[in-house]
């Protein structure tokens, strides 16, 4: 099964690590990236080939994976809805092949791509991931795949080359729905931790001391154990930048609105991350939400006193 040819689109923070693991598992790999120099340097150093367009990549691959930012960008690269018209995946020879979108995307966008690709005899799965770039690098992602289950079974070895856990979660679009719900939880947890840290600092309990104590109790979580390091080390190099959180919460809000459910904490979290972005922290890691809180509380998180 490891003989099928894979095409990877989007060598960003996540995609470059995932593509490396595909190569390490022995799949022949071709890559395409908007900034083509990134694709060339990846291919030269890791041993993949480069395609000039998504169309060319799709024509020479059996399975095509996308790992891009916004829904409209993924739709453009896959379906040619904007600038990629005539050069998109759908313009290649794709009958009988499989396209897997692993980006965090809107469920309706996944269904739209499945339908359009199905019209030309190509299969589609949505398979978003839990875990950031460092988790991706050590093949520790959890993959939430949905779509036709027979197609899922066929590409399972490929998905397993990128993730520690690969879950089949249902019909097309369900993977995106579940991913958005998990990230709603994550971003609210992150905002909650940032709030505690800033208030703690104001009350004379340093972020380091507070975090060490939290992590010795039942309320520790992924944010306090792993993401907290960004605040404690004053290290803002992004594993995920602010636009990722704002995008996710915008997509969740849209999905929630479609079904008419309340989203109270998520709405506040979206505004907090948006405000953090507009304060000049757009290129910072998402944990910079703590810097927004420190400003709002009028406290220096790194004060020695």
The total number of residues written for the chain in this structure:
305
C-beta closer to ligand NAP: residue 200 or 227? 227
Find the residue with minimal CB distance to ligand NAP. 12
Q: How far is the CB of 158 from ligand NAP (least distance, A)?
A: 17
Torsions phi, psi for 254 (to 5 deg): -65, -45
Q: Are β-strands 141-147 and 129-130 bridged in parallel, bridged antiparallel, or unpaired?
A: antiparallel
Binding mask 225-264 for ligand NAP (x = CB under 6 A): --------------xx---x--------------------
Residues 6+ positions from 247 with CB-CB distance below 8 Å: 69, 70, 104
Please identify, among the stretches 68-76, 115-123, 199-207, 253-261, the one whose residues bind ligand NAP according to the rule CB under 6 A.
Answer: 68-76
69 belongs to the binding site for ligand NAP (CB under 6 A): yes
Near ligand NAP by CB under 6 A: residue from 19, 23, 31, 73? 73
159 belongs to the binding site for ligand NAP (CB under 6 A): no
Near ligand NAP by CB under 6 A: residue from 5, 34, 60, 208? 34
C-beta closer to ligand NAP: residue 67 or 210? 67
C-beta closer to ligand NAP: residue 18 or 210? 18
Q: How far is the CB of 287 from ligand NAP (least distance, A)?
A: 11
Element (H, E) at 17: helix 13-24
C-beta closer to ligand NAP: residue 210 or 251? 251
11 belongs to the binding site for ligand NAP (CB under 6 A): yes
Q: How far is the CB of 78 from ligand NAP (least distance, A)?
A: 11
Torsions phi, psi for 142 (to 5 deg): -105, 125
CB 25, CB 18: distance < 8 Å: no
CB neighbours (10 Å) of residue 296? 12
CB 97, CB 64: distance < 8 Å: yes
CB neighbours (10 Å) of residue 45? 9
| Degrees, nearest 5: CA angle 285-291-292 | 110
CB neighbours (10 Å) of residue 64? 30
Residues in the site for ligand NAP, rule: CB under 6 A?
10-15, 33-35, 38, 67-69, 73, 77, 103-104, 129, 132-133, 239-240, 244
């Amino acid at each position: 099964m490891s003989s099928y040819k894979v095409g990877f689109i989007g060598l960003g923070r996540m995609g470059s690590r995932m593509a490396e693991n595909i190569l390490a598992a022995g799949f022949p790999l071709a890559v395409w990236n908007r900034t083509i120099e990134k694709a060339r340097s990846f291919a030269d150093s890791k041993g993949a080939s480069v395609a000039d367009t998504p169309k060319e990549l799709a024509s020479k691959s059996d399975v095509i994976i996308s790992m891009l930012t916004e829904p409209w960008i993924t739709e453009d690269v896959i379906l040619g809805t904007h600038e990629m018209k005539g050069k998109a995946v759908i313009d290649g020879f794709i009958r009988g092949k499989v396209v897997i979108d692993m980006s965090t995307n809107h469920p309706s966008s996944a269904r739209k791509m499945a339908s359009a690709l199905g019209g030309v005899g190509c299969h589609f799965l949505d398979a978003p991931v839990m875990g950031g770039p460092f988790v991706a690098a050590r093949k520790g992602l959890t993959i939430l795949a949905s779509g036709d289950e027979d197609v899922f079974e066929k590409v399972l070895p490929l998905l397993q080359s990128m993730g520690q856990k690969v879950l089949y979660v249902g019909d097309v679009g369900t993977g995106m729905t579940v991913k958005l719900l998990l990230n709603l939880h994550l971003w609210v947890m992150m905002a909650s931790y940032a709030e505690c840290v800033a208030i703690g600092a104001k009350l004379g309990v340093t972020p380091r001391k507070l975090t060490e104590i939290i992590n010795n109790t039942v309320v520790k979580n992924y944010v306090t154990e792993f993401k907290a390091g960004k605040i404690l080390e004053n290290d803002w190099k992004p594993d995920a930048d602010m636009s990722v959180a704002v995008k996710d919460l915008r997509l969740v809000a849209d999905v929630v609105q479609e079904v008419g459910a309340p989203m109270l904490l998520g709405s506040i979290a979206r505004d907090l991350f948006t405000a953090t972005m507009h304060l000049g922290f757009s290129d910072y890691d998402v944990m910079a939400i703590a810097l927004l809180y420190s400003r709002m509380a009028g406290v220096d998180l790194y004060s020695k006193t």
